[in-house]
Chain A
Amino acid sequence: MSQEVGHHHGSDPNSPEIRTEALEDLLAEKGLIDRARVDALIERFEHDLGPMIGARLVAKSWLEPEFRKKLLDNADQVLQDEQIQGAEIEHVEIKANEPGIHNVVVCTLCSCYPWALLGLPPSWYKSPEYRSRVVREPRKVLAEMGLSLDPDTEIRVWDSSSETRFLVLPERPSGTEELDLEALAQLVTRDSMIGVAEVKAQ
C-alpha cells in the first residue's frame, strides 16, 4: 500500500493526519526510515496477522484432545511445532474456560497482547476503561460488554504484567459436532480468545 505523500488532508496543523505526515516526512528526509518498509510492515499487520491464527489453535484443540492437552501444558512447544512465530509471544500460556470457570485477559500497565496469535489489539482493549475496571469489577464489565456469566462462575483475570502473553481457550458451543477444523475456526472470534465473549454456533 504505497502512500502518495500529499499535503491535502485539510489544514489543521495539529490534526493527527497532518502531524503524522510531517513526522514521516522529517524521518524520511533524515534517512531514519524507509517508506517502502513502512508500507510492507503495515501490509503484514493488516492482512497476514490476525485472530485466525489463534482461532485455528482453538478449533484444533476442540477436535484433538491430545493437542488440547499439549497446548495447555506447553503452548511454547506447540507454537514451535506449528511454526507460529512473531511479535509478543515470547512465552504464551493458554487458559481454558470450562463449566464454572471463565478466563479474561488484560494488561493494566500498558496494552500487552499476543500479537502473533491475535493481530493488533482493538481500541477497547487499550482503553483506560477496560484496563482499570476489568480487574476490579470483571463481572460487571463483561455484562456491559454483552457476556452475562452465571453468578457461580469463577472469574480468573490475567493481568499481562510480564512478557508472558495469555490466550483464552473458549468452550466449544453445542451444535457444532459436525463441523471440521476450518468451519470451527471460522466461529472463533478474537474477543472470545481475550475472554470478553463466548463462541456461538452461528
Chain B
Amino acid sequence: MSTDHRVHDIGGTEGWGEVPYDPNEPVFHDDWERRVLGLLFQVLPHTAKRPGEFRHALERLASEDYFCADGYYGRWRAGMEVLLHEYGHVDKAELDNRLGVPHGTSAGYRSANVAAVNPKSLPPDRNTPLPERRTVRRELDEPPQFQIGDRVVAAGNDESGHTRLPEYVRGVAGTVVKIHPAEVLPDSTAHNLGDRPQHVLCVAYQAKDLWGEDAEEDVVVNVDLYESYVELKEGVS
C-alpha cells in the first residue's frame, strides 16, 4: 500500500465529520465563485487541454490549498494559478505583486511538479479512429479482456502520476458487473503520453471485502476501472 497518501484520494478514509448538508443550497454562495467558474473555462484552453491534466493539477496542490478555506472554487482558483504559472502565462509572483503582498501566497509555491511517468508502466498505445467531435470515447477493435462475472483485482502502484484507481479498492477482489464504452487512459493523457484507450469495467465490491466484518450490511460499492488497472483474481474466473 502507498505510504504517501494522495491528497485527493480520500474514499473510505476515516476521521471526517458530518456532511455539511444543505438541501436548499444556492448554485453559488458568492460572486467570486461565479467568476472562478467563468474564468476556468477560458483558462483551460490555454493550459490543461488534455483529459486528466486539470485533475492532476488539483491533485498536485499542497494539502492546505486542496482543502482550503475557500472551498471547492478556492481549489479551482489554486489549480488555475498553478497551471497559469507552469504554462508561462502568469508567473506565481505576479499575483502577489498585483495584490501588494510578500511573495509566496500563490498555490504555485507549494504545489508538486507534474509527476514523471515512465511510459513503460503504461499499457501500449493502439490505433483507433479519431472521433469527429472532441470526446474521451474511442472505438476499440479488440474486445474487452474480461467478461461480466469475472473476479478481478487491481494492484495499483505507488507512483505519483495521475490515476483514476482509488486507493480503497487496491488489492481487493471485485466482480465485473458491466462494461462501459472505451475511453482514453487518463493515466497517460494527463502526462502527454498518448491516448492508450482502454475498455472500462464497472466493478462491484462488497462492503465487507473493502472494510472488513464491521462494514454496514447489504452495501455494494461500484467503481469504474480502466481495463489495464486489473487482473483476473487467481483461482477464480
Q: Which residues of A contact B (CB under 8 A)?
A: 1, 3, 13-14, 16-27, 30, 32-34, 37-39, 41-42, 45-46, 50, 90-91, 93, 106, 108-111, 119-120, 122-124, 126-141, 144-146, 151-164, 189, 191, 196-197
Contact = CB atoms under 8 A, between A and B. Distances in A.
B122 interface: no
B115 interface: no
A107 to B, nearest CB: 9
Interface of B is mostly: mixed
B20 A127 contact: yes
9 contacts: A16-B74, A17-B30, A18-B99, A27-B89, A127-B19, A131-B11, A135-B221, A155-B220, A162-B224
A123 B95 contact: no
Contacts of A21: 32, 35
B200 interface: yes
Nearest to B99: A13
Interface of B: 8-14, 16-23, 25, 27-32, 34-39, 41-43, 46, 51, 55, 58, 67, 70-74, 77, 80-81, 84, 89-90, 94-95, 98-101, 105, 135-137, 164-166, 168, 178, 180-181, 183, 200, 202, 207, 210-211, 215-226
A132 B20 contact: no
Given A91-B180, A123-B20, A128-B67, 12 more contacts: A20-B35, A23-B90, A108-B10, A111-B72, A126-B71, A127-B20, A132-B16, A155-B216, A157-B221, A162-B225, A163-B51, A163-B136
B200 A164 contact: yes
Contacts of B210: 135-136
A106 B19 CA distance: 13
A22 B211 contact: no
Contacts of A91: 137, 180-181
